[in-house]
Amino acid sequence: MNIPVEPYRIKVVESLRRIPRREREAVLRKAGYNVFNIPAEKVFIDLLTDSGTSAMSDRQWAGLMVGDESYAGARSFFNLERTVRRVFGFKHVIPTHQGRAAERILFQALVHKGDTVPNNIHFDTTRANVEVLGAEALDLAAREAYDPDDELPFKGNMDVGRLEDAIKRRGRKRIPLVMMTVTNNSGGGQPVSLDNIRRVRAVCRKHKIPFFLDACRFAENAYFIREREKGCARTSVAEIAREAFSLADGATMSAKKDALVNIGGFIALNDDRLAGRLKELLIIGEGFPTYGGLAGRDLEAMARGLEEVLEPDYLEHRIGQVRYLAALLEKERIPYFKPCGGHAVYILADRFLPHLPRNRYPAWALTTALYREAGVRAVEIGGVMFGRKDKGGREVYPALELVRLCVPRRVYTVSHLQYVAEALAELYKRREKIRGLRIVSQSPYLRHFTARFEEV
Ligand code: F0G
């Protein structure tokens, strides 16, 4: 197994404290067995998300100092605009405070009640932003996206035949746009191939439907394309990313991922009229179009991060860390979604805890057990996050019951990853002792953020 040697050295450190097990137990109880409710100080290693958790470089920190805080026409905005135009290739750059604000504004402009928005698999906030407008969020990932064992190179791909069917069935007027999430976060962080993006674009073009990429992890997706797609090995990741964007009409971006910043996002697109409408909506909710809910220094850090994320050494280490963690789990025969994704390893919790039925939320139970065991925080992507009631009031569960071990960018070292793997190995040995949970309270949208549980 190749050790992913960090292509950076440490200049500033942030202390971590591992509180005793008894205290973790009390924290868990107080949090209603929901790791979102645990104060971060009580977490030793935080693999909840790769979003907004990156370590910025010395260059980015230096950028904060020279950020231009002007309300209108800040220099930092133009730096960002120039960089996004170069990296993404779109004409208009509309900053937002994070990805979901980009989604909300784009959907407000395009989506109406009764519409359908196809995607390979919607991320939870994307789905919520579609549904809150009374529209349907339709997941059209290819069948292999739900098969955790098949080691195919592009399990994030959309099923183009089903997209055609959906357009035929709903009529193109009811499909205001098609989205494609790269990499496919809710489906194991799997990449989408250039070929698939081309085919989806061809369908969209034929029916004159706008096609947008949810581009949070565009660099990781491009890395996989370079590694796995025929004819791409000699093309740079930057060129591959440009090619992917050239096939779309625009993109929404959570800069909290592949722009290596702690806050930020944007919409990038070519259509002048739509851009004008988006800016109107932006002003109401986010801010003037040259800052969009961010400080000038944030724009500066984003511009610098977008350059660093495409550096070959960075990406090799980044993907290498995730692969290293997967290899450690493999050695312990811990079941995980294969191949591992670009930003995370996803444990197959229903196989890890086969004694727990779906209505006892095995993946959720594993996140609480992992915290109790080792102070490690992971996130459930399963029955709590995506479960819903059918017409008869019965709960329906998503195909996959996953625990995502999400690796923040440039934050943890090899020994941290080893610690996590050891904790999981320990739990795996005593897995039949892990108890299921029942929901005590929940909210109608995005219930996983606030639901409270008790152990059964
Ligand atoms: N799209 C995808 C694919 C995402 O993974 C996320 C966020 C968003 C959109 C929304 O971006 O958080 O900046 O508003 N994903 C985070 C995660 C929260 O943990 O996977 P945001």
Q: For 125-149, what is each residue's pLDDT tens digit?
A: 899 999 999 999 999 999 999 999 9
Query: Cβ–Cβ contacts within 10 Å for residue 26, how many?
Result: 13
**125 C-beta closer than 6 A to ligand 1:** yes
Closest ligand 1 atom to residue 254 Cα is 13
CA–CA separation, 382 and 403 (whole Å): 8
Question: What is the reported pLDDT for 434?
Answer: 97
Question: What is the reported pLDDT for 124?
Answer: 85
Q: Residues 47, 201: contact at Cβ < 8 Å?
A: no
Tokens matching residue 47: 């693999």
Q: Burial-class residue 239 by CB neighbours within 10 Å (0-12, 13-18, 19+).
A: middle
**100 C-beta closer than 6 A to ligand 1:** yes
- Domains, the chain, ranges and CATH? 21-50+311-455 (3.90.1150.10), 58-308 (3.40.640.10)
Question: What is the reported pLDDT for 329?
Answer: 98
* Tens of pLDDT, residues 216-261: 999 999 999 999 999 999 999 999 999 999 999 999 999 999 999 9
- Smallest CA separation from ligand 1 atom 19, residue: 49
Q: Residues 317, 7: contact at Cβ < 8 Å?
A: yes
Q: Is 433 helix (H, G, I), strand (E, B) or coil?
A: helix
- Of 53, 180, 256, the residue with max ligand 1 atoms within 8 A of its CB, to mutate for a pocket test, comes to 256
**265 C-beta closer than 6 A to ligand 1:** yes
Looking at every residue in the chain, the average pLDDT score rounds to 97
Strand 250-254 relative to strand 265-269, pairing: antiparallel
Percentage of the chain beyond pLDDT 90 is 95
* Tens of pLDDT, residues 275-298: 999 999 999 999 999 999 999 999
* Tens of pLDDT, residues 368-396: 999 999 999 999 999 999 898 899 989 99
* Tens of pLDDT, residues 38-90: 999 999 999 999 999 999 999 999 999 999 999 999 999 999 999 999 999 99
Distance (Å) from CA 17 to ligand 1 centroid:
27
* Residue 1 confidence (pLDDT) above 80: no
Tokens matching residue 57: 């470089």
Distance (Å) from CA 254 to ligand 1 centroid:
6
CA–CA separation, 374 and 353 (whole Å): 18
101 CB-side CA count, 13 A: 23
**124 C-beta closer than 6 A to ligand 1:** no
CA–CA separation, 46 and 406 (whole Å): 8
Residues 6+ away with beta carbon under 8 Å from 290 = 70, 72, 73, 74, 77, 95
Q: Residues 38, 371: contact at Cβ < 8 Å?
A: yes
Q: Residues 398, 382: contact at Cβ < 8 Å?
A: yes
- Of 105, 124, 185, 405, the residue with max ligand 1 atoms within 8 A of its CB, to mutate for a pocket test, comes to 185
DSSP H or E stretch at residue 438: strand 437-441
**99 C-beta closer than 6 A to ligand 1:** yes
Question: What is the reported pLDDT for 445?
Answer: 79
- Smallest CA separation from ligand 1 atom 13, residue: 99
Tokens matching residue 448: 């996983």
Crossing angle between the packed helical segments 124-131 and 99-110, to the nearest 10 degrees: 30
- Of 119, 216, 261, 298, the residue with max ligand 1 atoms within 8 A of its CB, to mutate for a pocket test, comes to 216
**123 C-beta closer than 6 A to ligand 1:** yes
- In Å, how far from its chain's centre is CA 397? 20
Q: What's the pTM?
A: 0.96
Closest ligand 1 atom to residue 255 Cα is 13
Q: Residue 437 — very low, low, confident or very high, per pLDDT cuts 50/70/90?
A: very high
* Tens of pLDDT, residues 174-193: 999 999 999 999 889 999 99
